[in-house]
Amino acid sequence: MKRSLAVLLGSILALAMILTGCGKSDTAASEGSDSSDGGKLEIFSWWTAGGEADGLNALIDVFNKKQPDIEVKNEAVAGGAGSNAKAVLATRMQGGNPPSTFQVHGGAELMAYVDAGKMEPLNDLFKKNGWDGKFPEDLIDMVSKDGKIYGIPVDIHRGNVLWYNKKVFDDNNLQPPKTFDEFFDVADKLKAKGITPLAIGDKEVWGSTMVFENILLAELGPDKYKQLWTGEVTFDDPAVKKSAEIFKKMIGYINDDHSSLAWQDASQLVADGKAAMNIMGDWAKGYFTSKNLKYNEDFGAVPTPESDGSFMVVADTFGKPKGVKNPDQVDKFLTVLGSVDGQDAFNPKKGSIPANVDGDTSKYDDYSKQAMDDFKTDSLTPSLAHGSAAPQGFMTKVDEAVNVFVTQKNVDNFIQSLTQASSLLK
Ligand code: GAL
């Protein structure tokens, strides 16, 4: 079993303990908590790669200028998409030792902690900052339960993006593919030239799960894609089977070393022209620009094939755990995180667009300007690979199934595993 799967299983166990109340009670948590670490504000995330770490540092810089007396402790745990951090967080939450504030995706991932009674509502902070109407309603829905808001959105990432090396495409007279037929046509031409068509880094399985969820979105369309997570559409649907067939064909065009690479390593293959394309959320743009590559000169981006008009939302938010010793400091940090200044320092480096609607467009490149327009008009869909669409238990089973599929390429077995896993959908 891959390490990330083992870690995720650990995190499920920890989460299950929280949900069944086997961990310390909230009261015990608040009494026993040492979350302030002697007065330091612990910011917990998994932002350690190029782009994402730069964004976080820029946000902390803004905070430090506004609150010079509060000492910040950057508690980032390496591993894309929280492949390690989520397990560490679950253990800390379960042990009554929450960080002061932590990165969490809106939707199912945040709601697991809300349902377990581990999070403070943030409505008062919202009011105090005049944030009513300042964040898109769809995002507020993702962080709310029964009218209470539990997370402040810091960014909006798009998850359905195909990145390509401009020079490789220009040198070979290729156009970025809009359909799967075009994708395989381009891929055949690249392969004939000895260039890896598609870079994947699935050392942490989500790198492949993301590719599959993008194909699902394309084949099912946004409405049916969303119905997969509510059980209204089942995994034996012909469109899911077709998605698996397309995914299987794609795997024939990826780099041999995919299972030893992380997402940023796969992006680096594209940056170096060793591979032509990469399917990844737009934190990859943050990575490319951190390496001084320029959008539309060195690399280009289009929606993943047949997903134009849909926007796979990956929104990072930060919440306030119950029982922290420094709630006022947390409020001050969340205030900066939700502010225009904070978001406009963070997002241009991160590759994402600001969640705060007052973000200053002039601070963003053409890619992000387009993403801002698309977010307003496209159908918005939650990402499975990033924890918004479905509970962690189901996600882990899907990751396991994807992991097996990438090596065995057995469509029927894959569909069977997904169908079995679907009993874990609420
Ligand atoms: C996502 C997260 C992004 C980015 C990415 C890679 O889950 O939402 O902000 O950090 O993982 O680590």
- DSSP-derived pairing of the beta strands 41-44 and 72-74: parallel
Q: What's the order of all strands across the beta sheet hosting 316-319?
A: 72-74, 41-44, 101-105, 316-319, 152-153
Task: Return the pLDDT at 28.
Answer: 30
Rounded to the nearest angstrom, the distance between the alpha carbon of 382 and the centre of ligand 1 is 14
Handedness of CA 10, 13, 18, 23 (dihedral sign): negative
Show the tokens assigned to 387: 């924890």
In the chain, the amino acid numbered 367 is Y
Show the tokens assigned to 14: 């920890």
DSSP per residue, 402-420? HHHHHHH--HHHHHHHHHH
Please answer whether residues 179 and 246 qualify as being in contact, where contact means their C-beta atoms are separated by less than 8 angstroms.
no
Query: What is the rounded distance in angstroms from the CA atom of residue 422 to the CA atom of residue 124?
Result: 37
Atom of ligand 1 nearest to the CA of 45: 10
- Return the number of other C-beta atoms located less than 10 Å from residue 252's C-beta: 12
pLDDT in tens, the chain (426 residues): 444 444 445 455 445 444 443 333 333 333 333 444 457 999 999 999 999 999 999 999 999 999 999 999 999 999 999 999 999 999 999 999 999 999 999 999 999 999 999 999 999 999 999 999 999 999 999 999 999 999 999 999 999 999 999 999 999 999 999 999 999 999 999 999 999 999 999 999 999 999 999 999 999 999 999 999 999 999 999 999 999 999 999 999 999 999 999 999 999 999 999 999 999 999 999 999 999 999 999 999 999 999 999 999 999 999 999 999 999 999 999 999 999 999 999 999 999 999 999 999 999 999 999 999 999 999 999 999 999 999 999 999 999 999 999 999 999 999 999 999 999 997
Task: Return the pLDDT at 38.
Answer: 53
Chain mean position to CA 291? 21
Minimal-distance CA residue to ligand 1 atom 2: 81
Domains detected in the chain: 9-157+316-382 (3.40.190.10), 159-312+386-425 (3.40.190.10)
pTM, to two decimals: 0.92
Residue to probe by mutation, ligand 1, list 102, 142, 314, most atoms within 8 Å of CB: 314
> Which residue reads 């289009």 in tokens?
302
Does residue 225 line the site of ligand 1, with CB under 6 A? no
Please answer whether residues 209 and 280 qualify as being in contact, where contact means their C-beta atoms are separated by less than 8 angstroms.
no
Query: What is the rounded distance in angstroms from the CA atom of residue 252 to the CA atom of residue 255?
Result: 9
Query: What is the rounded distance in angstroms from the CA atom of residue 286 to the CA atom of residue 57?
Result: 13
Query: What is the rounded distance in angstroms from the CA atom of residue 86 to the CA atom of residue 385?
Result: 13
30 half-sphere exposure, CB direction, 13 A CA radius:
12
Query: What is the rounded distance in angstroms from the CA atom of residue 266 to the CA atom of residue 246?
Result: 20
Does residue 47 line the site of ligand 1, with CB under 6 A? yes
Does residue 299 line the site of ligand 1, with CB under 6 A? no
Query: What is the rounded distance in angstroms from the CA atom of residue 196 to the CA atom of residue 187?
Result: 8
Please answer whether residues 161 and 302 qualify as being in contact, where contact means their C-beta atoms are separated by less than 8 angstroms.
yes
Max CA-CA distance within the chain? Answer: 65
Task: Return the pLDDT at 17.
Answer: 44
Show the tokens assigned to 357: 């609607």
Atom of ligand 1 nearest to the CA of 263: 6
**C-alpha dihedral (300, 305, 311, 317), degrees to nearest 10:** -70
Rounded to the nearest angstrom, the distance between the alpha carbon of 103 and the centre of ligand 1 is 10
* DSSP 3-state of 205: coil
Task: Return the pLDDT at 31.
Answer: 32
Residues in the chain: 426
Query: What is the rounded distance in angstroms from the CA atom of residue 392 to the CA atom of residue 147?
Result: 24
Within 8 A by CB and 6+ apart from 316, the residues are 45, 103, 104, 105, 153, 154, 155, 157, 352
Chain mean position to CA 303? 16
> Which residue reads 């509502």 in tokens?
121
Of 100, 77, 158, 148, nearest to 372 by C-alpha is 158
* DSSP 3-state of 156: strand
Task: Return the pLDDT at 27.
Answer: 30
Beta bridge partners of 316: 105
Residue to probe by mutation, ligand 1, list 47, 54, 84, most atoms within 8 Å of CB: 47
